[in-house]
Amino acid sequence: MREAMLYESQEDQKVQCHLCAHRCVIKNLKRGICGVRENQNGRLQSLVYGRTISRHVDPVEKKPLFHFQPGSRTYSIATVGCNFRCLFCQNADISQMPREIKRIMGEEFPPENVVLSARQSQCRSISYTYTEPTIFFEYAHETAKLAHSSGMKNIFVTNGYMTSEALDLINPYLDAANVDLKAFSDDFYKEQCGAKLAPVLESLQKLKSMGVWLEVTTLVIPGLNDSNRELSEIAEFILALGPETPWHVSRFHPTYKLRDIPSTPAATLRRAREVGLEVGLHYVYTGNLPGDQGEKTLCHHCGRLLIDRFGFATGQYGIKKGRCPDCQTPVAGIEM
């Protein structure tokens, strides 16, 4: 265990957590919505500090990040727990474990081991992913500091539900983030995720203002968030962040508690991509559709193929000094 960051004491041994937008008020010997932060006699404790439930070496494209150190490897870690309860979660066995089976599992793996393993695996970055990194913030924060001192980058793959205070703390060490913008409806967030839309939008705006490299992902679910109106609203919000912000529209597959909805048709993803491009976004990608034209990075000015992809594998790389070799248009991103 590790004493939590970002909480305040209240009367009757209650505490209020200020890590995520739920801002849980937690009674003594109870836990927050995430299931991994417990009030122990008026002190909030993280139950997952240094305890990985999953760690892998991944292509950075799997996060997905297509404009951040493309073609590189990233060391991915997670603990159990999440502050959302998405009915379509593809990692529900670990994200919902504390809530559903009341267990905190994981292997002891302190921050220095994470950084050492990442270096030995020739990774250029560490990704805090699979579950929500906000709920293991103390672990991620300490690891990120060590990673930066070793010359490695840090990536959050997140639902964007952290507070402004949490973003301020991680700001010096956070280099890139992929944020799920799951829909543009408060009803969707409430019914499907147990959350609200507004804090996610606020986090996206703050991350952009902080100078963190930002990419956005929307899992397109038939009948729930795939209307032209909603896709246009998402695209227009991302456009306001900056037209260079990549948008990944990904294919849904039936899972967890949403098994009665079919997989997203390929045509729907291609339509979503067209919506984004028509709004004015420079880079819109189709996800979970290996071999699709929408996986490739094209020059947004002349259309030249700049990075060829199949799934998470990169092929031909045509960017020269951060620019399209044909028309010299800059390509947005980090080390492009």
For the stretch 19-59, pLDDT in tens is: 999 999 999 999 999 999 999 999 999 999 999 999 999 99
DSSP-based three-state secondary structure for 261: coil
DSSP of 17-37: E-SBTT--EE-TT-B-TTSSE
**C-alpha 174 chain-centroid distance:** 12
Residue type, 274: E
Chain segment 201-251, per-residue pLDDT in tens: 999 999 999 999 999 999 999 999 999 999 999 999 999 999 999 999 999
pLDDT of 16: 98
Domain with CATH 3.20.20.70 in the chain: 51-295
pLDDT of 223: 97
Q: Are 144 and 177 in contact (CB under 8 A)?
A: no
pLDDT of 336: 84
Given a cut of 90, whether residue 98 has pLDDT beyond it is yes
Token pair 């408060």 in the structure block, residue: 186
Edge to edge, the sheet with strand 73-78 lists 54-59, 73-78, 125-128, 153-158, 176-180, 213-220, 247-251, 284-287
pLDDT of 327: 98
pLDDT of 293: 96
pLDDT-derived band at 329 (thresholds 50, 70, 90) equals: very high
pLDDT of 167: 98
**CA distances to 183, 190, 215 from 180, in Å:** 9, 15, 9
Residues 336, 319: Cα–Cα separation, whole Å? 7
Determine how many CB atoms are found less than 10 A away from the CB of residue 23: 15
Task: Name the strand (E) or helix (H) holding 274.
Answer: helix 266-279
Residues 207, 197: Cα–Cα separation, whole Å? 16
DSSP of 154-185: EEEEE-S-B-HHHHHHHGGG--EEEEE---S-
Edge to edge, the sheet with strand 2-3 lists 2-3, 43-46, 37-40
The beta strands (E) that lie in 79-158 are given as 107-108, 125-128, 153-158
Chain segment 230-239, per-residue pLDDT in tens: 999 999 999 9
Q: Is the domain covering 51-295 a CATH 3.20.20.70 domain? A: yes
In this prediction, residues 262-286 reach a mean pLDDT of 98
Residues 326, 336: Cα–Cα separation, whole Å? 15
